[in-house]
Structure 1
Amino acid sequence: MSRFTIAKWTIGVKIRSILALAFLIGGILYSAVFLRIIYPSYIQMEHDRAVTNMERVIFALERELEDLTMLCTDWADWDATYAFMENNEPDYIEKNYAYETFRSNRINLVLIAALDGTVKWIKTYDLGTGAPLSIPEFTMDRLSPAHPLLHDDTMKATGSPIKWAGVYPTTQGLMLTTTRPIRTTNAEGPSRGFLIMGRMLTPELVAKLNRQTHIDFTIHSEPVRPEICHYEGPRLSTLQSGAYCIETPSDDIIRIFADFPSLSGYRDLVIQADLPREIYGKGKKAMAYTSIALLLSLVITLALTSFLLRKIINAPISRLKSHMVNIKRIGDLESRCPLERDPGRDEILVLAREFNDMLNRVEEMSRSLEDANTQLEALTRTDPLTRIANRREFDTHLHKQWCLMNRLGKPISLIMCDVDFFKTYNDFYGHPAGDQCLTAVADVLQQSVNRAYDLAARYGGEEFALILPATDLERACALAEKIRHEIKALHIPHDTSKVRPWVTLSMGVACLVPGEEAAETTLVEMADQALYRAKESGKDGWQAFREDIPHRD
């Protein structure tokens, strides 16, 4: 189109052409922003949410394995089990491995094997019917030393990884299994064999985990993922259990796969979860509404702009032209053009309301996702039995407070607590009573810390710890004495205790001002030394760490 042709256009045509070109460029930019920025962000958010949901599934399975491992450890680290490996007393089996034991602990398999793999005793139950469960993988009289459920101590020396717990495929289905070496109640060796416990991953258990996680997932023992996963993008995340893989078989479902450790010695298992594509669906609907609204707005704006141009620009110019022709024709030079323009504003409105609503929805979804992550993180920092901080939170909190006290130049105190004769308490009263005892002790410790930066944590087994920042040794010792009296006031019966007829605590108190020459592990070692002296000096009391008192080797 030549410059001369454009010069013949009227002002109205030129302005409308400029507006039409501007709207065309705006449409191209809108499409580019949607395809390059908005749509990929929806996909990334959807993938991140799928990964978070899969991590919840993996965490739920790991909690089941942890529960089974704690149960197996309690039975493996027991003098009675240790003695059975030597004398084969039948009373041990009759008293401890009745069907009720299997049912109450939700276990389907108990296998006791010697170090060379010889099966000394095995029992399997179908908890639904109470009948024996036939599992061909465990019907032999002796397990091979290379069996994936047996572990040689020499593997530690060679640096080989040892899987103590995982999922073991059987002909009856997948089974959660854990293996622990049989030692004394004090967890001392040498090991005399292995205790293996198994819990079938039944449809009822999977349904329970589905309800807990609100995620419908399945576990495959066959290598399904490489054949059916066609996601071309990069791996989204990699955990200890393997890499995630995501595909979108339809506009309604997003499918995610993850590896999970298998104790079969072969390929890991694959967890599959099908999730609704809520973010994608809502985003797609919002963008459709936005596109329709934008298109209608452009049509209306063009029509209104053309009308306003004719009324505000073309009409006054036409009137001016007619008036000037009349002046030339009549020759009245005193005549004036009666051009009066109404006051007003001409604006091209930008559609932003739908975009703002869309961004509000995205922010709300992000906030919900952050809240879910916060809750999941809180679960990883809490001991499931006592509902106080666990060992992981203890280590994290001690490091943070150590650094803070180092900057402030203030002391930090640590009280290590141990329930006296707890192993005999468990043996005499049973594990459920032992759990209630630990919960009661944890409640007392939790109530004894009043400041926001103090922390009561379960250190491991029957051991607890109190972190007391900005607290000197005298105040920490006073708190230890207060705790001793409060535990005494509970009067929890303990007939097998050698110091009192009720449950008591032994405590070690240590205090240190952080500096370059000291580390947080030093404070833990000092408190542990003090706890050892409290145990040696008669229990039911506390000892403060002193430099002039010889340390334990």
Structure 2
Amino acid sequence: MRLIHRVIFILSAAAFAMLVGNALILHLLVGEEFKNLESELAVRNANRAVDAVSNNLAHLRSSAMDWAAWDSSYAFMQGENAQEFVDQNLMFQSFQGIQVNLMYFLRYDGTVVWGGIYDLATGETMDLPEFPSDRLPPDRLALLHEGEGEDEPDRSGIMLTGKGPMLVVGAPIHRADGTGSAAGILVLGRFLDNGLIDRLGRQVHARFTLDPIGQRQSPIKVQEPTGEISTDEEEDRSGRERPSIVVEGGQLRVRSVLQDIAGSPALVLETNYARSISAAGDSMVNYVLALMGGVLGITGLAILLMLNGTVLKPVARLMDRVLEARGATSGPKAEKGDSGEGASDEIAILSAEFERTLAQLEETRNRLVEQSFYTGAAELVGGMTHNVRNALTPISIKLWHIGRALDMAHLDKMEAAVAKVAEAAADRRDCELAVTYLKACMEHLRTSHSTIETDLSVIGDQATHIEQIFYDHERFSRAKRQVETIDVVGVIEEASKLLQHGDAVKIEVAPGIGKLPQVRGHHVVLTQVFGNLVVNAEEAIMAGGRTAGKIMIDGKVVTTDGSDMVELHFTDDGQGIPEDKLDRIFERGYSTRRAHSGGIGLHWCANSLAGMGGGIWATSEGVGRGATMVVRLPVKKRVFKFDELRESA
């Protein structure tokens, strides 16, 4: 998958997660708030319907109190002007005036003094089994009043009858001034019929139905919830039980239970509302989510365009450039295996290429270190060969001169001259001894000449052999050396023999050196390195103008990058090293000696130690305060095998 595809996937996933999260939040918070608002409005309207019934009952109670506290009613109960009272006041118009269906004048024993029941719509009289025309049963009378002759407050409530539920009020009949005992009970009743319920619903803007518990006689009327929301605190203060809410499809059905005059559950007041508020809330939430989705889409597209211009395209160009430099191809082939073995995007490809580059750099570094080691070795061999050949050149010249002088001796002519002298002096006895001496000298000279020629030939052959040895040494110096296990104590002892002023400069080896573990390296090269360090320290002591000095060699084991290393300190009390020269003394061609020797000593030492996996650096407190050369070499490790112990270099 390309990087741009991953970015698109991440942005899409983030936008989807944000959209889903916001949808959950909006639906769980905002949507629920709308539903709660709708429920509270429905409950409020249901309570208003209950209040409408209660208010109508209160109005009926007020009418009962007016009639019960009237002197004419009191006189009527006493039997005074009874017919006149009936003719003037107890007609159908009086029922219509106070909107009642039932009016009964009762004595405290239940005897009906006068009673009438009318249908207000038709004006016809009605019969109710619950209210007989002669006497009320004791249980019915007990619902309206308790105790004969007692001035108790009126009793009111709902009474279920064969003609439907009725609002009933019972009030004691008194004189207008309140004197005297009650003359009886006045009972007023009003049917809770559909007309009254519709009228009450219109008054409070909350349509409802009233049905006996377990029945449903009235049709359901659906309306929008209106009115203010009543708080739980208001409901608690009213003492009213909170209505139950049932969700049926797209409607809210709110039910309240009304008790009858005896305090038993009698009627179910039910209001039914369309869930328009929650539907509006859901629509608003969906609209907000749609807008949010659009905003997220535009924002994601803008982010993608900015990332594409500032990150993705530069990364793609960088990847193409890297693959081009490596000789690979960009595209699907590069994604699958040509660059990074299974890399799936530009980052993975660049990461694989970076790791590959690091490995190549490490390999190149090792090669450079090795090449530098061989270059230093070649420089050392070249310097040694040059110096020795310079020393061999005068010898060769002298040998040539000697050979030429021998050739110019003319032994044959000298022998001929001696023969002529002998011939001329043959008759002279005094010259015989001289001639014999000359012949002996000539014979000795010829023998010596032959010996000298033979020796010169041997010397020449030996000089050629020396040159061949240096050639072979140079060839061997370029060959790969085998890593050896080296005891640093033995190498230090060999290097100490190179001191030229052993009587003035002493080497002190710390006792802990003998306890150090063996190291890995090349024995001959390490001997040359230690010898070079010892000779340099000796020269630094003598260059400081001192007649005696000391070289301290100490060591310890340290851990570097998880590997154990032997660290050796070659400390002298010589002329020291200036601070600005500490970083240069290991450079090729640099030397602190007055008579330069080519400057390959410390440079070659550094390369040789690096080739063995070690290192070297110098420390000094300043001019005249000595210096310390610190050498680190890898510790030889022991490898345990199944049946033998092998020391691994």
Q: TM-score, normalising length from structure 2? A: 0.43
TM-score normalised to structure 1 length: 0.50
